[in-house]
A and B are shown apart, each in its own frame.
Chain A
Amino acid sequence: MRTRRARRASRIAKRIASHAVLILACLFAVFPIYFIAVTSFSTIPIAGITASILVPKPSELTLSSYDFVLFHYYPSFVSLLTNSLIFAGSAAAIGLLLAAFTGYALSKFNFPGRRTFVYFILLISLFPSFLLILPLYFTFKDLGLIDTYLGLIIPYSAGAVVFSGILVKNYMDSIPDDIEEAALIDGLGRTEAFFRVLLPLCYPILGLAAFLAFIGPYTDYAMANVFITSNNLWTLALGLYHLNSTDTGVQPYGLVTAFAIVMSLPIVVAYMVFQRYIIGGLTLGSVRG
């Protein structure tokens, strides 16, 4: 009896301990979001933060920061959002299409230097993209691509190809050649077999790749800041930065946090749309290494 009770006690203790750790980790993750949310509704335009802001009285809550960010900021929030969606959307679309071809070629075609090429791509992805900004800037300046949509879409898409190409390749490696060959015998050419059989089988990984290819450009500041000068091409990240640096005398915490909240909504929506693929894709990635 005693041992059984002791075993049970230790089991409960273990459970309490593990839950405590999880709750703590959860707090670490959730607190910043909560803090940003609370700040965005706060009326206190102060530089110094006091603990009182964490538990606001209902009377102190206001939507005025949102009102400014959405309706009184220049360039308008809609214009910033549109630009961001154009950049991130085209990068995701173009990058994904190219990544699908890249992954297909690397997975299903046997050409000399294939392995070297794969390692080369992996090596490239180890370098931070900041390194590219300066050389790209001068190249693009000569090409007249600075301060144009194309000037950002090209490097964004290229980044997506490098990363997603490998993802798609690894996934396609797991699809047996037999299936493609069955399609060839059923009456398709290689191109048709790719679009009608292989690509549909890759939807899970393409969903993940699309999401990642979207997030990168959507949140990018460094490259956009260098390549975009006129404010009608500003992205959300640039808008956020300039909001922070506008000379209002005080640090506009409420405005910045409100902006951040609104800016994150499309990502949340995208995540919910692609959730199934993202979780599936990530686990696949972890299994396949």
Chain B
Amino acid sequence: MTGIRLEHITKRFKTETAVDDVSVEIADGEFVVILGASGSGKSTLLRIIAGLEVQTDGHVYIGDMLVDDYEPRDRNIAMVFQSYALYPHLSAYDNIAFGLRVRRVPREDDPEKLRRRTREEIDQKVRAAAELLGITETLRKRPAELSGGQRQRVALARAIVRDPEAFLLDEPLSNLDAKIRSSARIELRRLHQQLKQTFVFVTHDQSEAMTLSDRLAVLNHGRLLQCDTPERILSHPANQYVASFVGSPEMVFLEGAVQATAGGSTFVHGPVRVPVRGAGKAGPVTLGVRPWDIHVQRTPAEGLLSARVTGIERLGSSDQLFLNILPGPTAAPGAGAGTGAAPAPVAVRALVRAYDFNVGDSVFVTADPDRALFFSADGTLLESMSLSSRLP
């Protein structure tokens, strides 16, 4: 049981930089998910921890040990590959036992000397791991005879049985059917709670990342954008990329500008005119709101924007409404009206639990002022800025 520390890890392949100055500290027993789109360098980072790839710059520590010059086998970590990488010529049992047979352990009478594990020791460990994962029945079969879910469990068992310092998992769930995948998530989480060991899990699936992680590291173009708890990443994304990548359905962004008005500052985007607090100077900003923080109702009220339902996506537990915000009654007759022509409607999305909306319905919307975020033109979060609950 050990933590992992990455210090300024950079990996360059010929011309491109796959990992760019990434520093992360992963605590002992923590479940960290590295999240990124394909090509973000997340797998490369994992392979650097494993020792399968050597970083161009920076240092890897496992526990307190600097392991830069260590071969993968000397790092004593376990890895589960996306393809599972089971040995096709060996039975599930032999696949799990392989690492135990290969590695030697200190002798009881003389810890300086090493010995092979006995057949009984290996058998006991393999059976314990198989039982933990519920694959006792399939131990005699070859990988080709196993289902995807069973292969994934054998791969996990092969990792667990070695009792490694840490587990590295490279998209281990992505080859599973959607149905098994969600149960595999729960199982993986349970496994982590039982083993209480360090897990580093790589995925491009943000919902997988949200459900599994203690902490989430978001990577893009080799750069670490943010590393924080899933809750913090949702509520305080470091920048617009993180905000759009994490959270489903995706955040609604409105690119507008801050204008100084009589009562303070106002965010203006077409027919959307909302008062803001904490704005520095006037200029372009982007307003970001999670679809579930946009509230929809049928009756008009002070401060609400008028909108029309243009589409409905049924997500099961809730509906996502596609809305067009119209130049309506609450659009202040101030600066906007002076331009003459009515501004074009603005498309937003809202998540609702009521199922009685229909396309074409006229509705009124507002956003939760405490949850809306503002991003500067270069995409960074403007922490001090927020929607004001003051009426326009």
> Contact partner of B71 among A184, A196, A197, A200, CB < 8 A?
A184
Interface residues on B, range: 20 to 34
Mark interface residues in A77-120 (1 if CB within 8 Å of B CB, else 0): 00000000000000000000000000000000000000000000
A187 touches B85 (CB 8 A): no
**A144, CB-defined interface residue at 8 Å:** no
Contact of B83 among A178, A184, A187, A197 (CB under 8 A): A178
B79 within 8 A of A: yes
Mask, A183-215, CB within 8 Å of B = 1, is 111111100100011001100000000000000
Bound CA span A182–B89, Å: 14
> Contact check: which of A181, A188, A196, A201 meets B52 at CB < 8 Å?
A181
Contact call A179/B87, Cβ cutoff below 8 A: yes
Query: Are B71 and A179 in contact, with the CB atoms below 8 A?
Result: no
Cβ contact of A200, chosen from B52, B81, B89, cutoff 8 A: B89
Q: What's the dominant secondary structure at chain A's contact region?
A: helix
Contact with A along B69-111 (1 / 0, CB 8 A): 0011100011101110111110000000011001100000000
B127 contacts the other chain (Cβ, under 8 Å)? no
Contact yes or no, A188 B73, CB < 8 A: yes
Contact with A along B60-72 (1 / 0, CB 8 A): 0000000000011
- In the assembled complex, the CB of A205 is this many whole angstroms from the nearest CB of chain B, namely 13
Chain A residue nearest to B79 in the complex (CB): A185
Q: A176-B85, A189-B71, A200-B89 are in contact. Are A182 and B103 (CB under 8 A)?
A: no
Cβ contact within 8 Å between B73 and A182? no
| B50 in contact (CB, < 8 A) | yes
A72 to B162, CA, bound (A): 66
Proximity string of chain A (164-179) to chain B, C-beta cutoff 8 Å, 1 when within and 0 when not: 0000000000001011
What residues of chain A have their CB less than 8 Å away from a CB belonging to chain B? 176, 178-179, 181-189, 192, 196-197, 200-201
Given A176-B83, A184-B51, A197-B87, 20 other A-B contacts at CB below 8 A?
Answer: A178-B81, A178-B83, A181-B50, A181-B52, A181-B72, A181-B85, A182-B79, A182-B87, A182-B158, A183-B98, A184-B71, A185-B79, A186-B98, A186-B102, A186-B103, A187-B103, A187-B162, A196-B102, A200-B89, A201-B87
Q: List, sorted by A's number, 28 A–B pairs whose CB atoms are closer than 8 Å.
A: A176-B85, A178-B82, A178-B83, A179-B85, A179-B86, A179-B88, A181-B52, A181-B81, A182-B79, A182-B86, A182-B87, A183-B87, A184-B51, A184-B52, A184-B71, A184-B73, A185-B72, A185-B73, A185-B77, A185-B79, A186-B98, A186-B102, A186-B103, A186-B158, A186-B162, A187-B162, A188-B73, A201-B88
